[in-house]
Amino acid sequence: MKKMTAICVAFISALMFSSCAGIITLKTPKITGGKIEKASYVAKKPPVLFDDFEAGTVVGGYSYANGAGGASAKIYVSDPQADKAHGGNYAAKVDIDTGADSSWGCGFGAQSTYGGGFIDANEREYVTLWINCPEGMEFYIFVNEAAANGADGEYWGGTPVKGTGKWTYFEFALDTFYKNIYSGNQSGNNVLDTAGIGTVGAQLAGAQGKGVFMFDDIWFK
C-alpha cells in the first residue's frame, strides 16, 4: 500500500511540474543536417577563415547555369578601382542572369585561398558571409565537402534567403543544411563533415532577372 501511495504521489508531482509555466523541456536527440544533437555543452572553437579574397584571386572558382532557360553566371575577383568590397580590397564577384525558367537559374562556388583543397572547420556550427545581392533576389548558400581529412564529398544546401541590395551579414547554422540528393557523393555517411570543407557557394532561383552578386569574408564559427 505504501508503495502504491508513493507511486501516485510521484505521478501527480510529475503532472504538476509539467504544467508549470517556464518548464525546461529536454530535447530528444535527433538528426538535423546530418548532425546528432548533443545535450552536453561543447566549448566554442576559434573561428576559421574560409576566404576573404585578399590574395586578389578566386581559387577554384566555377559557375553553372540553366542554359536551356537562358541563364548564365561568371565568377571572378572584384576590381578595387571599380568595386567596393566588404572588407579590404577584394571580394568575389559574379555576373548573373537567372534566365527565364523559374525552376532554377544559376550557381557558383569557390575553394579557399588558405587551404590545400579543403579547410578544417571541425566542430564549427555556423557559416557566415557578407553578401551584396540585388534586393529581393532569392538564393541559398551551399557547403560542399572535399574528399579529404575524413570528409567524403557530400554536398549540402541551406535555407533560401533574399538579397538586400547592399552588403549584409548572413549567418547560417550548419545543422539546418540538407544533403544535396542530385550532386556530390550519394554513398557517404550522411553527416556534414566540417573537418574537410572544400567549396562554399550560392545558387539562385530562376526567372529573377540579371545583376551582380558579391560575397566576402567567409568564416566558419
Cα(118)–Cα(23) distance, rounded to whole angstroms? 43
Cell of 147: 574528399
Amino acid identity of 214?
Answer: M
Do residues 98 and 133 touch, judged by C-beta distance below 8 A? no
For 186-199, what is each residue's pLDDT tens digit?
Answer: 999 999 999 999 99
> Of all helices (H) and strands (E), which one includes residue 12?
helix 2-18
Does the domain spanning 27-220 belong to CATH 2.60.120.430?
yes
What letter represents residue 115's amino acid? G
Q: What is the pLDDT of residue 21?
A: 33
**DSSP string spanning 124-179?**
--EEEEEEE--TT-EEEEEEEE-S-TT---EEEE---EE--SS-EEEEEEGGG-EE
CB-based contact 145:177 (threshold 8 Å): no
Whole-model pTM?
Answer: 0.81
42 or 183, greater pLDDT: 183
Cell triple for 198? 572544400
- Residue identified by cell 578601382 is 81
**Phi, psi for residue 194 in degrees, rounded to 5:** -75, -5
pLDDT-derived band of residue 42, with 50, 70 and 90 as boundaries? low
- Give the whole-angstrom CA distance, residue 21 versus residue 77: 54
Q: Is the pLDDT of residue 208 over 70?
A: yes
Query: Phi and psi of 81, rounded to 5°?
Result: -75, -25
Does the pLDDT value for residue 219 go beyond 60?
A: yes
One-letter amino acid identity for 156? W
Q: How many Å apart are CA 190 and CA 178, to the nearest integer?
A: 10
Query: For cell 540585388, what's the residue?
Result: 134
Question: Is the CB of residue 213 less than 8 Å from the CB of residue 105?
Answer: no
Q: Say yes or no to pLDDT of 163 above 60.
A: yes
| Strand-strand pairing, 35-36 and 62-65 | unpaired
